[in-house]
Structure 1
């Protein structure tokens, strides 16, 4: 006597060939990686500082909203990648200060390069001492306000992105 044939598509029927299950979705990316969050914040700080300096050099003035954007971008990158570690907002704030400072130096290099008719990269890399001297002489209350805005945006952006 032959065995009864199970209906097609029923993987639990006796004698049926099992049908494969669909593949499981890939695991969610690890978010609580502090080291990766710090690297993301550093990369964001370098890129955002360069863009900030390029914009400020092109329009020949600093823009407060751009400094806030630098800080938020650094904090957002750290919080999104690194998670909720309490070190990340503080490090983001410090990195955003460095990014705004470097951006201001890039802007001075662009303006000085235009004035002296040399490339801005030459101004930045070969006359860095002159850039820092010019920055020191030209800083005012607005310079420090931009630092504060960037640091605050980085701190709060990191906390918001980690939620």
Structure 2
């Protein structure tokens, strides 16, 4: 006579079956902690986004808050993604975003002035930089500083989120 087969217990290994072999999990991603490379990436992002911000100002003939936030976020994103979780990077990204917004405002002023004076914006920017800084100083208002604050906040938080 054959012995009765017990009902399945829900345990796949109870009847002596060998466990199924699964491939090994991939190793964890290496920790990004390269401060120097993060700073370089943030600097490049600041220069590029500052130039684009200036072109937006020159094209629209006004400053746009979301564009300043975008400048800050891009600088922070570059710092965090490339540099990792180092606590210096969000602060550096905030400072670099301030410079990027300032650069963008100067580029925007040079584009607007070049349209009025019928000269090259790059010539005006590089040859009359002191005059551009005076024009910026005369035209600043509380909204100008709000855009600085928005960009710095976006850079700081963007770097923290991109690194995590």
Q: Does 1:103 align with 2:115?
A: no
1:114 alignment counterpart: 115
TM-score (norm 1): 0.82
1:31 offset after TM fit, Å? 1.5
For residues 74-94 of structure 1, the C-alpha deviation after alignment (integer angstroms, 9 at most, x for no partner) is 000000000000000000000
The aligned runs of 1:31-42 (5 Å cut-off) are 31-42=32-43
What corresponds to 2:163 in structure 1?
162
User: In structure 2, how many angstroms separate the alpha carbons of the residues matched to 1:154 and 1:135?
Assistant: 23
For residues 34 and 95 of structure 1, the distance between their equivalents in structure 2, rounded to whole angstroms, comes to: 14
1:149 paired residue number: 150
Moved segments of 4+, more than 6 Å: none
TM-superposed CA distance for 1:27, in Å, is 9.1
Give, in angstroms, the shift of residue 26 of structure 1. 10
Relative to the length of structure 2, the TM-score reads 0.82
Residue of structure 1 in register with 2:89 after alignment: 88
1:30 and 1:92 mapped to 2: Cα distance? Answer: 20
Unaligned runs of 5+ in 2: 1-25
CA distance in 1, matches of 2:52, 2:28: 34
Q: State the Cα distance separating 1:29 from its structure 2 match.
A: 6.3
Distance 2:69 2:49 in 1: 11
RMSD over equivalenced CA pairs, Å:
1.5
Write out aligned runs for 1:24-63 (5 A). 28=29, 31-63=32-64
Q: Deviations over 1:80-111 (max 9, x none)?
A: 00000000000000000000000000000000
- 3-state SS, counterpart of residue 62 of structure 1: coil
